[in-house]
Amino acid sequence: MISLRRRFHTFLDALSTAVLPAYLPKPETGFGKTYVKTNGECKMQMNCDSALLARQSIVDAMRSFEEKGFNHGSSGNISVREGGHIWVTPTGATSTMDPQDMSLVSLEGEHLAGKIPSSEWLIHTEIMRAHPEAGAVVHSHADACVALSCLRKPLPPFHYMIASFGGSEVPCASYRVFGSDALAYEVVRAMGHHRACLMASHGMVVWGRDLAHARLLAEKLETLARQYILACQIGTPALLSDVELTEVRERYGFYGSQPMPR
């Protein structure tokens, strides 16, 4: 007689190679796999450890931003690239969400698995498509960035760290209603070659090599926005010239790679 233990493991083996209907939820114990949808069906293709790490990193970042006051309630969203797909926060996401709540979306915009994605998922996929080197995208409603975005003007080069975003300013995308295709396309247009942009009367968005880099840039942008507001309360901030910004960018290229002079 076949033991119950053996029957159970036979069942698990069958499950690990099964093709499941698209409407069935994927198991969180994927035995080294996770499900993605292909031709209307779900097949296990991606490494579960990698997927779990990506989803957990998003949860950790959302909780950190909530603690720092960058987001409140369900505002803001984050994505991480994994191959030709992205893990993105689900619609209505809060800091209490779990890794299994994440949504898997292809770069072509197909919802593959998980909960319904954030209403602004298209911002994430369009940025990833426009910037193949982007590994993560962070969108936040951080206070200082929201305040500046309401002026509907770029953040000028009042501080040398503006150069770390890839240009001589942080541009501001024109206003479009939240969650719309028009907003996603306008963000990508305004962002251009930069790593960040403000979103008029809305907030800000940044992309980084990975989520750690994107989080760093998001926090840096919020700090610079707050400092610019403080400087404007005193007077009119002096701006760096193109020559000075070029020097900064060159300096950034060597930063941390050269020994200290004797």
Task: Please write the tens of the pLDDT for every residue from 2-20.
Answer: 454 444 444 444 443 344 3
Specify if 67 maps to a domain.
yes
Specify if 222 maps to a domain.
yes
Catalytic residues: 120
Specify if 22 maps to a domain.
no
Range of the domain at 206: 48-253
Number of domains in the chain: 1
Which CATH number covers residue 227? 3.40.225.10
Q: What is the rounded CA–CA span in Å between residue 55 and residue 101?
A: 8
For residue 29, give both structure tokens: 């114990």
- Beta-bridge partners for 204: 140, 198
Q: What is the rounded CA–CA span in Å between residue 207 and residue 216?
A: 10
Specify if 36 maps to a domain.
no
Task: Give the tens place of pLDDT for each residue, 27-78.
Answer: 333 323 344 444 433 343 455 677 888 889 999 998 888 888 777 766 789 9
Residues 121 and 50: beta-carbon distance below 8 Å: no
Other residues' Cβ atoms within 10 Å of the Cβ of residue 150: 14
Residues lower than pLDDT 70 in the chain: 1-48, 73-74, 95, 254-262
Specify if 1 maps to a domain.
no
Specify if 35 maps to a domain.
no
pLDDT at residue 38 in the model = 42
* Helix-helix angle 211-234:48-67, to 10 degrees: 20
Q: What is the rounded CA–CA span in Å between residue 189 and residue 45?
A: 34
Enter the pTM of the model.
Answer: 0.78
Specify if 233 maps to a domain.
yes
